[in-house]
Structure 1
Amino acid sequence: MTTSPNAADHLVKDYVDSRFGQLHVVETGAAAPGDPAVLLLHQTPRSWDEFRDVLPLLGARTRTVAMDTVGFGASARPSEPMSIEQFADGVEDVLDALGLDDVVLVGHHTGGVVAVEVAARRIERLRGLVLSGTPYVDEARRERVAASGAHVDHVERTADGDHLLQLWVGRERFYPAGRTEVLERVLADALRVIDRVDEGHHAVNAFRMEDRIGAIGCPTLVVCGALDGFSLPDVPRLLSALPHAEQRVLAGTGVPSVDDQPAEFARAVLDFLDSLAQARPGRP
């Protein structure tokens, strides 16, 4: 696997047709013969922009695509309630449209849960799986979340715009001080889906991961920020359910590890790609 420093000088934005309408994708880089492509799946309520700084780092090594999940960013938004299965349908349509038959799927938070469902369906197309900040969703978690009454990112629109401040404050606690520019990007994504801003979280909590994760047989990296209080406690359960998985903890970051520490996040994915290459027959 070789690195081309000029392979990711620019990002190419496009749309692909799907059963839901057009889905937005952003692509960079090119895969060498025998190397997998990478498909990136964002958290709720983000878009491909969550991976804006990661894309060129991965694209310098291989073909890398980030998509807007069904219902988010510039992708088509169906009228029916969102679900992980629906999100996975959209991912399958992107895989088909772009001819991604040998891919490493990388999902962050909601994207990680979607990646579990895609991997359970289409394991033959996956060279590997990266689950970043991914919760383990089972009946105990579903009951706990329901009992808590928590509504992540939910706000009621107000005529004076106070809901914008509520969104900012709700997300600010997860980001290091001074990362105003990243919070602005989060808010921009949230405003595009403001009427359904927390629906992706509900989809996560309704998903029966315990029924699906056992179907995953490809090499897996479970990566999580050391300060991610939502998902780090679930890492041991993911590792137990995926005995072939390895673990990596990113120091000094939490929920927003992708856009808070893009170089460290990309390095974790690139190291995983290297491990996959070394494991292939005929590789040194």
Structure 2
Amino acid sequence: MNTETKTETRSTAVAKPFRSVWSELRETSFRQGWIDAGGIRTRYVQAGPEDGPPLLMVHGTGGSWECFCANLAVFSKHFNCYAFDTVGAGFSSKPDIDYEIPVYVEHVRNFMQAVGVDKASILGVSLGAWIAVRFALTHPDKTQSLMLVSAAGLLTDAQTSSDIKGARYKAVDDPSWENVSAVFKGLILEEQNRIDDFVGVRQAVYRQPGMRRAMEHILCLQEPGLRARNMIAENEWRSLQAPTLVIGAVDHKDIFLETAQRVSKLIPKAEYVEIRRSSHWSQFESPEEFNRAGLDFLQRTAR
């Protein structure tokens, strides 16, 4: 290999640094555990000062807390952060019931009670954003502020629901590396950010006993009739009183971007920030930009 080639290789390595869950967390003090939240054995991580303003992090459909690995280091310097696996997802308990939005809301409330948090800001991604908004509407006294990534709960699209179901069922029925990797094509724009850690964790989740049945309960919200009764109407978005930061991933035109743009005009105390070079998981794909915007917002609204 000549000198020019070596220099090019090193330059490429600098431009595209190695990323893993551990590389994001290796300089951060955090703890992982399980806690009983209303009868649900709930997996979670905690980072940051326990007497700091609480920040809950709620992942999307069939995900796990690892999707927030690039945010915990920054936010935990100022906030008491909890990221957890929602009911039925990750390595939390999987009761044999459909996981409609009120079920998730109750799990969030029970988790807060279990960890001793009375009021919190909530960062939600996709389904997590949907849960966060419904929680804020149901429990305004327990909600400080909201951050919504890939906002959901206002609009529906048959093709998007079909794609979500197809990829998730294929992966849970045959959790091969290829099938599980395909799930992340719809979540992460650039292939280099679809890190092996995410695939490996999700593969382990999908291999758990009873996961096929749990996935049916998770994906119930993709069924038209059931989804319709869980939607958040425009007048409800207008009644939302919590200060809200809405993130729009403008390089990926889809129902989630459209939702973000619409709800940012409906929510009375909304701020809207556009982030590029990302799709569904802006919090991981563009962490510097996301964390900067999120920290600025939370330091103004979450204290």
Gap runs ≥5 in structure 2: 1-26
Task: Give the length in aligned residue pairs.
Answer: 263
- Alpha-carbon contact 1:30-1:63 (below 8 Å) kept: yes
Cα pair distance change 1:170/1:101, threshold 3 Å? closer
Cα pair distance change 1:209/1:152, threshold 3 Å? farther
SS at match of 1:112: helix
- Alpha-carbon contact 1:38-1:64 (below 8 Å) kept: yes
SS at match of 2:168: coil
Aligned counterparts of 1:116 and 1:30: Cα–Cα separation in 2: 26
1:75-86 matches, within 5 Å, as 75-86=92-103
Q: Which has the larger radius of gyration?
A: 2
Give CA deviations for 1:58-86 in whole Å, capped at 9, x if unaligned. Answer: 10111111011111112111111221111
Aligned counterparts of 1:170 and 1:260: Cα–Cα separation in 2: 16
Alignment match, 1:177: 191
TM-score, with structure 2 as normaliser: 0.76
Instruction: State the Cα distance separating 1:192 from its structure 2 match.
Output: 1.2
Alignment match, 2:57: 40
Relative to its length, the structure with more helix (as a share) is 2
Aligned counterparts of 1:220 and 1:89: Cα–Cα separation in 2: 21
SS at match of 1:16: strand
Give CA deviations for 1:217-261 in whole Å, capped at 9, x if unaligned. Answer: 111111122223331112232123212211011121111222222
Alignment match, 1:4: none
- Alpha-carbon contact 2:48-2:80 (below 8 Å) kept: yes
- RMSD of equivalent CA atoms: 2.8
Alignment match, 2:245: 221
1:196-211 matches, within 5 Å, as 196-197=214-215, 199-203=217-221, 206=227, 207-210=230-233
Alignment match, 1:188: 201
Alignment match, 1:153: 167
Cα pair distance change 1:202/1:257, threshold 3 Å? farther
Structure 1, 205-214 or 98-107: larger mean CA deviation: 205-214
Instruction: State the Cα distance separating 1:52 from its structure 2 match.
Output: 1.5
Instruction: State the Cα distance separating 1:89 from its structure 2 match.
Output: 0.9
Alignment match, 2:70: 53
Instruction: State the Cα distance separating 1:162 from its structure 2 match.
Output: 7.7
Aligned counterparts of 2:40 and 2:60: Cα–Cα separation in 1: 21
Give CA deviations for 1:118-140 in whole Å, capped at 9, x if unaligned. Answer: 111111122211111112425xx
Question: Does residue 1:24 correspond to 2:24, yes or no?
Answer: no
- Alpha-carbon contact 2:146-2:242 (below 8 Å) kept: yes
Cα pair distance change 1:31/1:266, threshold 3 Å? farther
Counterpart of 2:290 in structure 1: which amino acid?
Answer: F
Instruction: State the Cα distance separating 1:146 from its structure 2 match.
Output: 7.5
Alignment match, 1:87: 104
TM-score, with structure 1 as normaliser: 0.81
- Alpha-carbon contact 1:112-1:134 (below 8 Å) kept: yes
Alignment match, 2:180: 167
SS at match of 2:169: coil
